[in-house]
Copies of this chain bind each other. A is one copy, B any other.
Amino acid sequence: MSEPPTSEFDTEIAVTPTQAGEYAGRLTDRWRIGNGVNGGVVMSLAASAMAHRLESEGAHAELLAFSGYFLTASEPGPVILSTEVIRAGRTISTGQASVSQQAADGQVVERMRALASFGDLPDAPERAAPPPDLPPPEGCVSGREGISFLRAASLLERFELRLDPATLGWLEGNPSRRGLLQGWLRMVDDRAPDPLLLLFALDALPPVAFDLGLFGWTPTLELTAQIVARPVPGWLRVAVTSGPVGGGRMVEDAQVWDSAGTLVGQSRQLCGLPRQAG
């Protein structure tokens, strides 16, 4: 295509066309959390393939809405992305992507199926929630240095995460049970936010379930994001809140503001919950 990507994020979500509607990608070990690759980067990779496909057909390629249904955990290694243009409209274009990997036994396993719409974003929403009151990044807790179990996650080497200490009571065994986690986020190589990076940022914080006293693996079952404005460069603010909990699942909402304090995106996911209660 054009020049090779220079940022870590763009390298990870780069795709190469292989055959009609199909792209090859590669997930590395650099965005790992727990035993799998972070779901946010898998979503951004899928949206990247869809944007390439739409752009190659002269359709809109700025992400407005994305729904990903997670099927199995992605692993470092080659990825096959099958895309479909469902409708190229006048103001909105909609596509589909299927993300697959070849498992150790040679079988191709689907990781995620996604639908997404693309169009034109405004520079700022006309009406949107203001950003939360946060201490400045230097008054927050570093995700990598302050949270011991995140030290092993290569993902935490890709961005600076500065969490509001007022939402970290669970680190000392005192979850607030409000269901709130918030902080600042910035890529270590200063890659500027755009819709694909916002999709990643919306799923980059630790699970808000921790603030409910529920510790463990909270796999995303489905996540839908709306990108509502073009972000400006600089630190992002992200706030995650918990929605309904029940049946071993939880709804988790996230909002992201750019460095100008503009709400630029939001998401809602249904995730699984660990069995034990705190």
Contacts and interface: CB of A to CB of B under 8 A. Distances in A.
B244 A125 contact: yes
Given A64-B249, A67-B69, A228-B247, A222 B128 contact: no
B69 A270 contact: no
**Residue from A89, A246, A263 with most neighbouring chain B CB atoms (10 Å):** A246
A266 interface: yes
A127 B273 CA distance: 13
Each complex incorporates copies of this chain amounting to: 2
Interface of A is mostly: strand
A141 interface: no
Given A69-B86, A212-B127, A117 B222 contact: yes
Interface string A33-48: 0000000000000000
A124 interface: yes
Given A87-B71, A128-B246, A226-B244, A268 B270 contact: no
A46 B6 CA distance: 43
A115 B113 contact: yes
27 contacts: A65-B221, A65-B222, A65-B270, A67-B222, A69-B86, A69-B94, A71-B87, A71-B89, A71-B94, A72-B87, A91-B248, A96-B113, A115-B222, A117-B221, A117-B222, A119-B247, A120-B247, A122-B246, A125-B247, A127-B179, A127-B212, A127-B245, A128-B245, A228-B251, A243-B266, A244-B263, A244-B266
